[in-house]
Amino acid sequence: MAVGKVSLVGAGPGDPELLTVKAVRAIREADVVVYDRLVPQSILDTIADGVLQINVGKQAAHHPVPQDEINEMLVRLARAGRTVVRLKGGDPFIFGRGSEEAAELEAAGIPYEVVPGITAAQGCAAAARMPLTHRGLASGVRYVAGHRKANEPLDLDWRSLADPETTLVVYMGLANIEEIVRNLVAEGLSATTPVFAICQGTTPQERRIYACLETLPTVLKDASFSGPVLFIIGRVAAIAMERSERNDAGSSEAISVVA
């Protein structure tokens, strides 16, 4: 039997219309789709009838299918001659563990390709009409993960992250936001730095808040977000807040603006 193929596909930030053309084609040609928790139902609904769908989604402190088993599953399915899409939220190589899966496939001699996706930082910022870099406000952007396995303390270079000239994007940081804020302020980032937080960005369930850094933990408790939250910290967040205030009247978007 001929060996199949695995496509590591980025599903983007949630809106099905933000799938790339190549991602849509890969999904259409697959006979197995192995998908993560962050892939919304609206994207799963694009999978053709009869295609085997396998949910291997993880949540914080709850991994029903460990990563090693996912790696082995992809190899096993391809060796059985299947055309497999490994569908991952955002981009498979940005905090998606896609590189671990690629290494396993390569070691096993399985043909594979990587189909990039729009990562949450880009998709959510665009939805808010907010640049991640802007002349005079931010000359660079950095992405960091706001959690560690087994609830270990965050081991980040806080001094370098507390740079007012850089936009800082924090993925998966809701549970540790108090620690993140405390460390950034301790290293000199102004407590009044604007922050944009978005939950389930680019989907109909999207919710946003704007706050300054020092009030962010309190504001988040009141917001009671349900779902993945992305934090964009830096001067560019003020642009999104100003545009939101100008366009909020008559908008159907669920937005909370916090001074």
pLDDT digit string (tens) for 128-161? 999 999 999 999 999 999 987 767 789 999 999 9
User: Are 130 and 243 part of one and the same domain?
Assistant: yes
| Cβ count near 155 (within 10 Å) | 7
pLDDT digit string (tens) for 1-19? 789 999 999 999 999 999 9
58 is an active site residue:
yes
- The mean per-residue pLDDT over the stretch 57-70 comes to 75
CB-based burial, 7-42: b 16+ in 10 Å, e otherwise: bbbbbbbbbbebbbeebeebbeebebbbbbebbbee
Indicate which residue of 73, 91, 163, 172 is catalytic. 172
Query: Which stretch of 71-85, 154-168, 218-232 has the lowest confidence by average pLDDT?
Result: 218-232
15 is an active site residue:
no
Residue 224: domain span: 120-257
pLDDT at residue 134 in the model: 96
pLDDT at residue 46 in the model: 95
pLDDT at residue 244 in the model: 75
Per-state percent for the chain, helix, strand, coil, to nearest 5:
35, 25, 40
pTM, two decimals, is: 0.90
* Cβ burial, residue 48 (10 Å; 0-12/13-18/19+): exposed
- The mean per-residue pLDDT over the stretch 186-210 comes to 95
CATH of residue 135's domain is: 3.30.950.10
pLDDT at residue 240 in the model: 87
Total number of domains constituting the chain: 2
Q: What is the mean pLDDT of the chain?
A: 91
User: Are 110 and 193 part of one and the same domain?
Assistant: no
> Which of 71, 93, 115 finishes a domain?
115
Q: How confident is the model at residue 245 (pLDDT cuts 50, 70, 90)?
A: confident
User: Are 184 and 126 part of one and the same domain?
Assistant: yes
User: Are 139 and 35 part of one and the same domain?
Assistant: no
pLDDT at residue 58 in the model: 66
For residue 258, give the nearest of 217, 229, 226, 215 by alpha carbon. Answer: 215
User: Are 132 and 96 part of one and the same domain?
Assistant: no
248 is an active site residue:
no
- Beta bridge partners, 257, equal 210
For the chain, state the CA radius of gyration. Answer: 19
Indicate which residue of 15, 36, 91, 163 is catalytic. 36
